[in-house]
A and B are shown apart, each in its own frame.
Chain A
């Protein structure tokens, strides 16, 4: 009986974490007025791609909300590497639709699959142009209705460029993070990095055009709030 009770106690302890993970939450805002977005004129000049639009779509380099909330900022923990769980995570999908990449900014973990689809009725080539050594450059054809292409990357890298050389206005920027502690700010500017173990960290916010901001935080047993404000110089 004593042994049985001891077993129950040990089992219960196993389910009680010794330390409580917490979330890092916050909001990203933009101070200043960004330059106006530009229309994809070359897209409209292309017979196939231009036919998909009545008016020219514009770039989305600065996605800013009515209260200056800034989207498409990648927030991650600086210098936290080697913690990737990417191989066990579901794939992230990026589509080629309307002769544009959708989404144009995204983030994955090292080892996590990135699936690239072609929903268009025309040829695209998916040309990956990494900057980090160890992430190989590749250039693959994707015919309309062709099989999805799958990519994985072993080295962390911010804003790795994906491009289509058939349609030279088509770009996407994929950030590869070597840990699960990252997220992308939404159109409301909000972000949440979930289940961060207690400790001292430097939180890094990266915007492709605006650069990088960092803040030091300490995570204990409750959520930590950290906000970032980018300035248009």
Chain B
């Protein structure tokens, strides 16, 4: 029995099968030639190594440059920064607003524009005010403190704009609307009905646009239409008669017409009930 490793290796080599004395076949050589012809790139070891080493560093530098540039540009120009860029910029510690704060600022801008727009679109003001409230609710304390003064001012202005006009005793309803002032008196008379027996829409909406709805078409405040006021925010919803049917449009799937339509939504194929759009503003049939 062998005792030294070298001897044992020799015995092992003598005992095991040696490599066969064969050569590659012609077919195997041909395959090799085809592979060679298919593409052997010239030697580029140094470049490969350099690229391997520097690729992560290059990516990091490029990312920082892009994020920094985008942040600076957005900060200087006031442009809206894309949310992914904003998230990435905050992740690497750049001083940019959080996405929630940016959204809240954008909502404030929209509300300010809605308030400044003439003639005033009360539906837009209401929805924008609600949007602002929603977004403020999602902010952290620090973020909220940055927009709170402006938000308070704009929301107060929105509430004022949405407040019901002072009614004087004996005042008559708006003459433009032949519809009854009470929801109970108008069963299925408009898009809030949602009842089984729709009434002729043209008869109740003889005129067009929001003027029509200011005549008492908005029943959001009615006890029969709780959802009409439920989504309208803190303002005196349902009392303004501004023709905003954002909520009620969702209910008129059976009546099948768009409350804000000037052409009689009852005949519209897309009917406000299915679209869920803002009937008071869309003007679609």
Partners in one complex: no
Which chain B residues have a beta carbon within 8 Å of chain A's beta carbons? none
